[in-house]
Amino acid sequence: MKYLLIIFFLIPNFLQAKDWKPFFCHYWTAFTIEQDDCKGNASDYKVYFTSSTFSSKEICMANAEPIANSSEMLSKYPDGPGVEDAWIFGCDQNW
pLDDT in tens, the chain (95 residues): 555 444 444 444 445 569 999 999 999 999 999 999 999 999 999 999 999 999 999 999 999 999 999 999 999 999 888 878 899 999 999 99
Q: Which residues in 3-45 belong to E strands, given as ranges? A: 21-26
pLDDT of residue 2: 54
Which residues is 91 bridged to in the sheet?
22
Which residues is 54 bridged to in the sheet?
20
pLDDT of residue 16: 57
Q: What angle do CA 39, 40, 43 make, to 5 degrees?
A: 130
pLDDT of residue 81: 86
- Separation CA 81–CA 49 (nearest Å): 22
| CA dihedral sign of residues 90, 86, 77, 69 | negative
pLDDT of residue 13: 46
- Separation CA 7–CA 84 (nearest Å): 49
